[in-house]
Structure 1
Amino acid sequence: MNRRELVLLGSTGSIGTQCLDIVAKYPERIKVAALAAGGGNLQLLAEQAQAHRPREIAIYSGNKAELEKLLHEKGVVAKVSVGPEAVVAVASMLDENGIVLNGINGGVGLLPTLAALESGATLALANKESLVVGAPLVKKACVRPGQIIPVDSEHSAIAQCLLSGRHGKGLTVPEITGDTEVAHLVLTASGGPFRGKTRADLQNITAQQALQHPTWSMGPVVTINSSTLMNKGLELIEAHVLFDIAPKDIQAVIHPQSIVHSMVTFKDGATIAQASPPSMHLPIALSLSWPHRWDDIEPACVWDQPTAWTFEPVDNETFPALDLARHSVATSDTHPTVMNAANEVCVDSFLREKLPYLAIVDTVAEIVDAHEGLVNPTLDEILSVQDWAVTAATERVSKL
């Protein structure tokens, strides 16, 4: 197997650090060409550079001189650049033989996603917001079928399950035929820390309580989104775009054990599930090796002792984010853009104790309803819509 170059975006985040665990295990297969990070943890970034020796490093914002000093102290020689445009530049530096893993959190991941696709590199996509915010642009930026490999555990699971039948649609398949044997997709959700609660139970929830996820270790924004089920709403839109399956044919189900990561039901009535203990190492590794598998990424499920997996329907009255996502994607190309941008503002406000927990999704819904919507938007229009949603949500939060 040839050694491939990797550009890792969001290297100091949860996905990025776990990706580097895999790279360290298989240095003969993956070489880090560039690291990009937000700039909030320069010490960790310098340590990563020391371990993996990239030739370029980019930070979204921060002190270039401080980073260069840290790198010099660690004997690292690399080109350092700062700014959003610097991250986009490293995202575009490889060709069709390389891999760009986009582990950036939030809507700011869209431009690097577009740059990576236009370069011809394989895009290992963990930044679901790229597809939520700019689906029409992402589709246009792809230069070949199957250029995107999903990293989210649910979408990685679906991609694996789809190999059990015929599916020639979407952004992940190597040949577009338009044919499919898929009846529907099933996205599993852990239910987060508040599974089984009512809206009345959630009146006075604190950030500390919402950050206590029962099965996954994730960053704060994703963890809050998981608790509100907004993460599952974003993932529903992501699945719709990635696999070209209508939202009405994508079902979400609560699975507290987080062992079955998603399922595909085919037209003959068979349902194929992907099961493994809850860890992101497996889908990350698979995004680097696809369609092959590397040895000993994670321990498998054990079958020599009693175990039980349970599934239950989503309580959409207590957790309306899934219904909001369905409404958004059905209304216009830019309603999902507004939903995502407003949610980022509201989650940040909740974490800073400026917004009550239940007001997160309620406020997002108000901003979504106020948006008129655009069809087939340009990049400038999408960025303008994002700015509008951020301003509208910020103003709304300030009045609460």
Structure 2
Amino acid sequence: MLSLPDILHICPSTKRLWVAYSGGLDSHVLLHLLAQSDLQLRAIHINHGLNPDADYWAEHCQKVCKALDVPCDIIKVKVEVAARESLEAKARTARYQAILQTITPDDVVLTAQHADDQAETLLLQLLRGSGVAGLAAMPENKGWLVRPLLGYTRAELYQYAQAANLKWIEDSSNADTRFDRNFLRHEIMPRLQQRWASVSHIISRAASHQAEANELIQELAAQDLQQCQGHKADILSLDKLSKFSAARQKNVLRFWIKKLALPSPTTKQLQQIVSNLMTAKADSQPLVSWQGAEIRRYRRNLFAMPNLPPPPSPTKTIKWLVSSPSPRLPLGNLKLTQALPSGTELEIRFRQGGEVIRLNKHQRVVKKLLQAAGLPPWQRQFIPFIYLDNVLVAIPGIAEENGWDIEWITN
């Protein structure tokens, strides 16, 4: 039975709680329950403008909140969907972005997902072939986001709403079975409930087990990453990584890529990293890339990075008056840490091949300097060469003569 004390036990102790209030049954029940407490409470309604009745829904939410004496923020967002993108996913992203821009760091947002939502989420993830992390479905507590109703079914929320004589919005799109979640909700879950009456709680419990398993997997990945981490966060040692089993290799790779805030690879792409990059010949330059990220190999190390831009033309030149900020380069920018006359004009060029630079009164071949410095081959196309009066005077971090001190800060 739904009760305020049980909900308050889940709610964190914070200065201010927000209820993500759509006007539908679930969020109305949550708002009505919490409005009976002495918590500092606000409601937030996101108007996506996707339904012809969207403005009416916003007005309804304002009226309900006024009756409950709960302040309500109505925020309009614009949802733009490109080809092959999910409208539901884009709307959710826009909604969360709007909420995060509204709340303060100490605030917590409560959403009204329940046990049936949790069961549907796990089934969706299962049908997408997700791993343990995906099958963990929705966590009850995610820092700024808390879901206090995951232990209750939709039927229990409906029973509460009927007893309290609540009036809520019915979104007609929720009945459209062209959407996967609605298909599960209206076609599959009722059949399962006929056979297993507590199916929502059963599946939600399975999600909890997956969440615990995922926590252990993440702990193992963190320990493994410590063992094979290179001298920088975006580098892994192949020699150390190869000592792990194939399953642990994939696990730590997945964890490493996520920790770098890069898009996650698919199962196929992850297998390509293990099969192609880790076993490639020493003199090869293998690459596995996907939208937003790529993994490269050099000298028994793996390197992770965002997709590189097209390399600059070898004939490209950029003028730089040292009294002005560094010009934008294809891969980062420059920082001059020495004083030069304000009228000094430098020229930035990129590698053509065959360059030499004078160091300690001797001519040095730039190709050999780059190799000796261990600069990965893909960066050699982007590293800026600094010229003064048509003479190569500095290669940041590689070769600098006569006190030149220029730092190349890559993206």
Fold conserved between structures, TM > 0.5: no
Name the structure where strand makes up a greater proportion of residues: 2
Name the structure where helix makes up a greater proportion of residues: 1
TM-score between the two structures when normalised by the length of structure 1: 0.23
For the pair shown, which has the larger CA radius of gyration, 1 or 2? 2
Which structure has more relative contact order (CA 8 Å, sep 6+)? It is 1
